[in-house]
Structure 1
Amino acid sequence: MYRCIIIDDEPIAIRVIRNHLSVFTDFEVVAECRNALEAMPVIQKENIDLMFCDIQMPQITGVDFIRSLSYPPKVIFTTAYRDYAIDAFELNVVDYLLKPISFERFTKAINHFLELEAPQNTLSEHVSTNNNRDFIFLKADKKHYKVNLADLLYFESLGDYVIAYTTDQKIITKERIGHLPDILPAGSFLQIHRGYIVSIDKIESIGAGFVEINGKKLPVGRNYKPRLQKLLSS
């Protein structure tokens, strides 16, 4: 049985999460709290496996609350704001749910959590390459998808998952973004942020603090700017 806590200052939001969660028999709601300070003693006392946490709350935000915990449980953020997505991914949360939360989207988040709790597989089971390195296999939905490197636009970190964006689809695979440079051909891909690796050939423009690919602006982290400057001067 997985023990959960729900932290949200909106009673309706708590009710929605509780109702969604009631469908899954292996989950138990230990506590429902209106803010992070109310949740703190519960987390210290109880053995919590999964935390559903709002971000915009009185006194302290959900992001700052998670950062304050030495050993936080697994976290699913539930929020009406998209602006904190990068912060959330850097905290390696299980998922980031935007309100109003549909049951279908909620189910995907629960599945992500259950996969994380399952025994870990090796890197080669999730991502593999051939010797010529002109394609990779990405494991998703119990299948291996062959993806041509020429079709890849960029990778986005989603905690313990990575979203691979191609010219015509996106694939979510269970892998940490830090492992990708080991299996991607050097000189073809560039990490520009803790949460993003991009195909150099697909960069359309470079601005102040971002690169643009397929019409989407992706942030450039401070520590990764020298790599981008080296690319511009090459």
Structure 2
Amino acid sequence: MKKISCIILDDEPMAVSLLSKYVEKTATLELVKATTNPFEVLETIATVPVDVIFIDIQMPELTGIQMMEMIGNKAKFIITSAYSEYALKGYEHNVVDYLLKPISFDRFYKSIVKLQDISSLPKTMETPVKVEEEQEGFLFVKTDGRLVKINLNDLFFVEGLKDYLYLHLRNEKLIVLDTLKDFEAKLPQNSYMRVHKSYIIRLDKIETIERNRIFIQDKIIPVGDTYKAKFQYWMKSFT
């Protein structure tokens, strides 16, 4: 069985030493580097494939968040921090688990089991399915007292406004008396995704993604905190 290669990065030497001992006790792990220097990690990552990095958040030269942004998808991350308030921010990146200091070996080992479970998923389960470019389908929606047939391929995004919706179609907008939750249930899940409490988008109509903003039809659609993890998981299939 191939071992999981790992790096330990923490600005506290005692934390590096403790985690190194935990790695030595875990037969499935192989330690590539244990250091307090973030630049050594960047040099190592550039030349040696690494599966996971145990990374602290608060460090003086480069923060853990900055490091994760620089390393990107070259490795998974297990955050080790004394501050729980960074958990949500950390999960914007390729994070498997968040270990709150002081870290017991039992809690450390559970994170390795979680990492192994993720690594062993079949590709069809681990990677979100990409949207088919030309998926046919239609819906009848009630607007102005009449039923109107809309082709789903023309429905770019849906905007919720209290008790009614704006359907943003290719060449027009329709106002529909419905809730976003009920309308979402009518849409094919592999083509549409709710990304905000007020927006459902068609994934293959996205033109640009900039941080937590999606651009469709000259409209800037925010990605809400509640939906951010799901959307970022979908994005990983393209990176």
Q: TM-score with structure 1 length normalisation?
A: 0.52
Q: Secondary structure, in 3 states, of the residue corresponding to 1:71?
A: helix
Q: Which residue of structure 2 aligns with residue 104 of structure 1?
A: 106
Q: Write the letter of the residue equivalent to 1:54.
A: D
Provide the identity percentage. Answer: 34
Kept in 2: contact 1:66–1:72 (CA 8 A):
no
Q: Which residue of structure 1 aligns with residue 55 of structure 2?
A: 53
Give distance in 2, aligned partners of 1:110 and 1:69. 20
1:1-234 matches, within 5 Å, as: 1-120=3-122, 223-224=223-224
How far did 1:224 drift?
3.6
| 1:164-220 Cα distance to aligned partner (Å, 9 max, x none) | xxxxxxxxxxxxxxxxx9xx968xxx8768xxxxxxxxxxxxxxxxxxxxxxxxxxx
How far did 1:92 drift?
3.2
Distance 1:192 1:20, change over 3 A: farther
Q: Write the letter of the residue equivalent to 2:81.
A: T
Q: Which has the larger radius of gyration?
A: 2
Give distance in 1, aligned partners of 2:75 and 2:224. 30
Distance 1:70 1:78, change over 3 A: closer
Distance 1:223 1:30, change over 3 A: closer
How far did 1:27 drift?
1.0
Q: Secondary structure, in 3 states, of the residue corresponding to 1:76?
A: strand
Kept in 2: contact 1:5–1:31 (CA 8 A):
yes
Give distance in 1, aligned partners of 2:123 and 2:53. 24
Query: Which structure 2 residue ranges, 5 or more long, are not aligned?
Result: 126-180, 187-193, 198-220, 228-239
Give distance in 2, aligned partners of 1:48 and 1:69. 11
Distance 1:109 1:70, change over 3 A: closer
Q: Secondary structure, in 3 states, of the residue corresponding to 1:78?
A: strand
Kept in 2: contact 1:35–1:57 (CA 8 A):
no
Kept in 2: contact 1:56–1:79 (CA 8 A):
yes
Distance 1:185 1:55, change over 3 A: same
How far did 1:122 drift?
6.2
Query: Which structure 1 residue ranges, 5 or more long, are not aligned?
Result: 124-180, 194-220, 228-234
